[in-house]
Structure 1
Amino acid sequence: MSSINAKPYESAPAARTAFLGLGVMGLPMAGHLAQAGHTVTVYNRSPGKAAAWVAEFGGTSAPTPADAARDADIVFCCVGNDDDLRGVTLGPDGAFAGMKQGAIFVDHTTASADVARELSAAAEALGLKFIDAPVSGGQAGAQNGMLTVMCGGDAAAFDTVKPVAMAFARAFTRLGESGAGQLAKMVNQIAIAGLVQGLAEAIAFGQKAGLDMKQVLDVIGKGAAQSWQMDNRGVTMVDDKFDFGFAVDWMRKDLGLVLDEARRNGARVPVTALVDQFYADVQAMGGNRWDTSSLIRRLK
C-alpha cells in the first residue's frame, strides 16, 4: 500500500531536487515530488527509510545531506528541530557544502525564526538561497498532497520553488523575509491550541450534561462553532481515540517556540501558556504520542 494518496498534479517543468528527512511528513512529501515527475534524491538519518522510499518511488538515496544536495536545483528538508536542521545544513557533510551556486534550500521543519535567519545568512554567504517554509495540515495533509505552506525569504527564490512544491501543497504563500514563515506557523499553533482546548471543554461539558455529543457536534458544526478541529477531531474525541496525526510531544515543541518568541517580542499569550501546561499534564498521563485532541483526557 502506497504511503501517499493520488493527487492530480499540475504541469510544472521537471526539477532536480533533494529531500532530507523522511519522517511521517517528509516521506510522503518527497513521494509527491517523485510522482509529479521531478528527479528526487533522498537522505535520511536512518538509511533503511531511504532505501524503502527508493523502492516505492524510484529516485536515488545518498549517504550524507551534502551528497544528496550535490546536483539539486532545490533541496527540500523536513527534520525535527533547530539542532537537527543545523545538523543537515552545516559542516562538511551538510547540504550547504554540497549545493551548487544559486541552488535553493527550502526548510519545512517547524523551527525558530532565529535559526531561519541564521541559516539564510549562512546560505547567502555561500551564494545559495534559503526559504523557511513550515507546513500545516498534518500527516493526512502530507499524504494527500494538500499541505498549507507558510514561507519567508527571497521573492525570486520563492517564485522558482512554488510550482515544484505544489506537488505536495494546496497553498504555498510568501509572507515576508526570512523568518516570516516560522512566525506565521507560530500564529497557526496559537490559534489551534486555544481552539482544541475550547472544543475539549465543550465536549466534556456536553457529556456531563447527558447530551448525545455526536448529534450535538453535527448540529453546531453547521453554525458559528464550526472548525477544522471540530469536523476532523470532534467525533474521535467523543470516542476517546487519539491515534491521529500530530503528537502532543510535537505540539509542546512548537508551543515552546511560540513562548520563546513571545518573551522576545513582548506578545501576551496567556491562553497559549496555559494550554502548553495542559499538554504537559497529558504527557504526564503517558500521552506523549497521542494526537493534540487528547486534551479532553484531562477533563474526564
Structure 2
Amino acid sequence: MTFSGCSVLNPNVTEPVFLSNENAAKSWVNGLRRQLALTMNQVVVSTELVSDNYYNNRTLSSKVFDIPQIDYFDLDVNNLQVQVQRLREMSEYGLSTVLKGDPTATAADSTEVYFSNAFAHLLSGELFVGLPGSNLGPVLTPTQHLERAILLLDKALALSTNENDRNAFTLLKARAYYQLGDAVNASKYATAVMSKTTLLRQAKFDGLNNVPNDMQTYLYSSTNNEFAPLPRLDFLDPKYYHTGLAATDQKPVTITKAEEAYLIQAEVQLSAGQLDASRVTMKQLLDVVSARGSVSIDDKRKRGMEVTGRTIR
C-alpha cells in the first residue's frame, strides 16, 4: 500500500505565519506585557525573601535566601535569570524582526518594546554580578547593563508621546544612574519628575489567563499562610489582596512611582552633607505618600487576629 500527496498541516502558529498576520507588532507587545508580569513575579518573590521581609512557610520558593545564601546553581537564582533573560530576548526579537516586518507597527509599539528591553537590562544590572547581554553573548557587568538600559530608555523617550510613560522612563533613568553611583545625573532625572506626584507605572496580571500575581497568592489569596511577614512588618501586610474572586482581582505590581524620585534625591543630598535639604525632601515625600489612595481591609480570616482592618496604600 502506498501513500502519495500526503500533506500534514502544522497545528501550531509558526514564525512565518505569525509575522504575516495583521497587527503582529501589537500581539508581540501584549506578549511582552505578559512576560513582564511573569518576570516581576520572580523578581518580587525572590527579593522579598532575600530582604528577609517574609518567611517562606510552605512554598517551593527558596528556603535559604533569607540567610542570605544565594548560589549561582540555586534553582530560584536560575529561574530569576531565566525570566529576566526571556524578557530581554523577546524584546530584542521584537526590535529586530517583528516591528520591521509589520507595516502597521506604531511608535507606541516600538516604545513598549524598547522599554521592555531597557527594563530587562536594568534588572540585570541591579540583581546580578553578571549576565549575558545577548543570546550566547559575553557576560556583561552590572555597569554595562545599566549603561545599556539608559541608552534604550533614551530611545523609548524619543518615540513616546505619552506623558506618564515619558515620566516613568525618566525616573528609571534616575534609578539607573543611582545604581551607577552617578549622583549628578541621578539627581538631574529624579528632580525632573518630582512634580509628577501621581506618577505610577505597573505590571498588570490576569488571573483568568494563568498570569496571577504570585505574591498576592502567597500573602492573601491562598487559603494557607504561604509567606509570613516578620513581626516588624506585620502592620503593613498584606501588600496585595483581593475582593470577590481572586482570579478576577489580581493586583498590579509597581515598577516605578513618584516616591522613588524623592528617595533618590534625599540620598543624593545626604551624600553631599546637605542634611537640611534632605530633611525637606523627605517631608515632601510624606505629603506625596499621604495623597495616595488607600483602602481598609479586614484580614482576620488570614491571621486569626483581633484586627478590624488595615489601611493599605
TM-score, normalising length from structure 2?
0.29
Richer in strand (by share): 1
Superposition TM-score, scaled by structure 1 size = 0.30
Say which one has the larger Rg.
Answer: 2
**Which structure is higher in RCO with an 8 Å CA cutoff and minimum separation 6?**
2
More helix by share: 2
